[in-house]
Amino acid sequence: MNMKTKGLMGSARWTKVRKTLLIAVISILTIVVCFAGYSVISLYSSLRSINPNADATKSALNLQGRVNILVVGVDSRATNDPGRADSIMLIGLDPVSRTMSVMSIPRDSRVNIPGHGYDKINATVNSDYFSDGGIELLEKTVEAMIPGIKVNYYAKADFAGFEKVIDALGGVTINVEKAMYYKAADTLINLKPGVQHMDGKTALEYARFRHDAIGDFGSSNGEELGRVVRQKALLKAIVAQTTSLRNVWKLPTVIRAVENAVVTDLLPNDMLRIALAFKNTTDKEVTTIPFPGVPGTIGGTSYVIPDLDALQSKIAPQFSPLVPSN
């Protein structure tokens, strides 16, 4: 066999190898594109499922101004207490600066509930307690408590399902500030101080722990203390964790977990628009705001007494509808 023949055979083999590689690359790209398409379709379908009125409303989302979302945590395991709000957080999204402001509202806050007078704020969502109890009454109460703000949307999260969301994200990393121990018939919380990576169950135990001298809420020299601080720490940890997982390969698992844990009045398209607007936001762009109030007792009942002047002068501007121009 002469050199020319060998060269032609070698060239033919190389051409065949290149074709094989090209087919392999195209196959891989096809799989990725199909998977990405499946993820987008699955995401949109799931976003529709967590808004029960997705077909009945039109978008009112304005990404030129601040968007306030009221996040309410409920515990479905308490079947004899269907309306209990275990945690309430107000999240302000600034689409211009791509930053977030987060304030936990203590569930025992003594507030003037429209049409009902003064009571604890977590009673607003309980339809067994108030005939018009529900998310809408809670939104009206928050708007009355912080004059001048508008609650644009809500998201109600079930704790049991939210454990699975955190697990789907791969857990979260939190710096536990002190030892936390509590034991009951169906509960054991035993956390050691220090930085640790937690699964969903442990993270929620951390965020909900209140069996110490401070309890749900405390204040010292203007500094917020207690469980409300841990709730905001968990939110920041979740934002930090999602930063490294924002790719289509993680979406299906996370989507399924969110679908089972969250109900919201945000439209599917609006959720996608917000997600795109804040896709590069990290925990560094999340500002936690202390709730202005002090623990107190009125008529033998323990409350958190809000500082109404501070809510109007200091808190309202941070959740105002208009984002200040630079």
Per residue in 90-123, pLDDT tens?
989 998 888 888 898 988 899 999 999 999 998 8
Q: Reduced to 3 states, what is the DSSP secondary structure of residue 162?
A: helix
Q: What topology does CATH give the domain 67-319?
A: Aminopeptidase (3.40.630)
Residue 83 has pLDDT above 70, yes or no: no
Residue 67's pLDDT is what?
92
Strands 172-176 and 180-183: unpaired
Task: Tell me the pLDDT tens digit for each residue of 263-311.
Answer: 888 887 788 788 778 877 777 888 888 899 888 999 999 999 999 999 9
pLDDT in tens, 16-46: 545 444 444 443 443 333 333 444 445 556 5
Q: What is the DSSP string of 93-119?
A: EETTTTEEEEEEE-TTBEEEETTTEEE
Q: What is the reported pLDDT for 84?
A: 63
Domain map (residue ranges) of the chain: 1-49, 67-319
C-beta atoms surrounding 52 within 10 Å: 11
pLDDT score of 63: 85
Q: How many CA atoms lie within 13 A of 95 on its CB side?
A: 16
Least confident of 205-209, 253-257, 258-262: 253-257
| pTM for the whole structure | 0.73
Q: Could you please report the per-residue DSSP string of 54-74?
A: TTT------TTS-EEEEEEEE
Q: Which of 101, 159, 135, 141 shows the shortest CA–CA distance to 265?
A: 135
Return the pLDDT at 323.
56
Measured distance CA(63)–CA(66) in Å, rounded: 7
The whole-number pLDDT of residue 271 equals 80
Tell me which amino acid residue 132 is. Answer: D
Comparing 164 with 252, the larger pLDDT belongs to 164
